[in-house]
Every structure is written in structure tokens, then in C-alpha cells.
């Protein structure tokens, strides 16, 4: 079995995040807001896991992943605190879109979520590139 480093795992997860962002944009363009919401959330979630990979951390529950990231990176302002609201909103919209009968998210709200996911992805990418080069 190959020897994967924390950086390898982090890069893999960041690539998953990038793929989810592209899928969110495609789904949005196709008029599928529910799928776009799901993909935007997973863009954010995989980016969070990419950061935590460098700390050697991973958890089974989404809420634990998000909670740990919030404490370690948002409350300490390593990454902007304002992303906390985006993450909470993305989780709520994704859950409602995936599981609530008759939930309809407006195209405007979906677009805002995707734009937030794009901004979060860019911030996390920049942070991780700095961490990767620091070694």
C-alpha cells in the first residue's frame, strides 16, 4: 500500500471540494437547485476536511467535523469568522433540500450559497497552499 502523507490526503480532499463546486455550478445552470445546494455544501465540507487532514483529524459525523473546524480555525480567526454563518446556512439548506418534502430553495438563495462556497473554497485553497509550502 502506498505511503500517503497528510498533505496528500489534504490535496485529495481539496480536489474533491473543487469537483463539488464545479458540479454545483453545472446543476445550478441546469436549473436543479436541490442538487446545486447539495454540491455547494459538499464543496465546503470537503474543504473543511482538507484543512483538518493536515492536523491528522477526521470524524464520522458532519456536525463534529464542522464543530472542530469552527473551534480551531474560525474562532481563532485563522480563517475569517464570517464563514461560520455560511457553513451553518449551507448545512441547513442541504439538509432541507435533501430531506424535506416540498422544500423549494429559490434560485437566488442557491446562487448565494454557491457564491459563498466559491469564496470559502478560494480562502481555504490559499490557506492550504501556504501550509503545504511551510512543510
- Could you report the per-residue pLDDT of 44-61, keeping only the tens digit for each? 999 999 999 999 999 999
Q: Is the pLDDT of residue 4 over 90?
A: no
Mean pLDDT for 13-20 is 98
With DSSP H G I counted as helix, E B as strand and the rest as coil, what are the percentages for the chain, rounded to 5? 75, 0, 25
Q: From 1.10.150.120, 2.30.38.10, 1.20.120.330, 1.10.420.10, which CATH number describes the 6-134 domain?
A: 1.20.120.330
The answer, as to whether pTM is greater than 0.75, is: yes
Give 102: exposed, middle or buried? Use CB within 10 Å, 0-12, 13-18, 19+: exposed
Nearest residue to 34 (alpha-carbon basis) of 115, 93, 80: 93
Q: What percent of the chain has pLDDT over 90?
A: 90
Instruction: State the pLDDT at residue 1.
Output: 42
As a whole number of angstroms, the distance between CA 23 and CA 15 comes to 12
Average pLDDT over the chain, rounded to an integer: 95
Q: How confident is the model at residue 3 (pLDDT cuts 50, 70, 90)?
A: low
pLDDT digits (tens, 9 = 90+) for 72-103: 999 999 999 999 999 999 999 999 988 999 99
Amino acid at each position: 500500500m502506498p505511503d500517503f502523507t497528510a498533505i496528500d490526503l489534504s490535496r485529495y480532499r481539496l480536489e474533491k471540494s473543487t469537483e463539488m463546486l464545479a458540479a454545483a455550478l453545472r446543476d445550478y445552470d441546469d436549473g436543479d437547485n436541490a442538487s446545486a445546494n447539495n454540491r455547494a455544501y459538499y464543496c465546503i465540507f470537503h474543504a473543511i476536511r482538507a484543512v483538518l487532514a493536515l492536523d491528522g483529524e477526521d470524524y464520522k459525523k458532519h456536525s463534529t467535523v464542522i464543530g472542530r473546524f469552527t473551534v480551531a480555525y474560525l474562532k481563532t480567526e485563522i480563517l475569517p469568522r464570517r464563514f461560520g454563518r455560511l457553513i451553518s446556512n449551507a448545512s441547513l439548506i442541504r439538509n432541507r433540500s435533501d430531506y424535506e418534502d416540498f422544500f423549494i430553495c429559490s434560485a437566488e438563495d442557491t446562487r448565494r450559497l454557491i457564491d459563498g462556497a466559491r469564496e470559502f473554497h478560494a480562502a481555504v485553497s490559499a490557506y492550504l497552499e501556504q501550509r503545504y509550502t511551510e512543510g
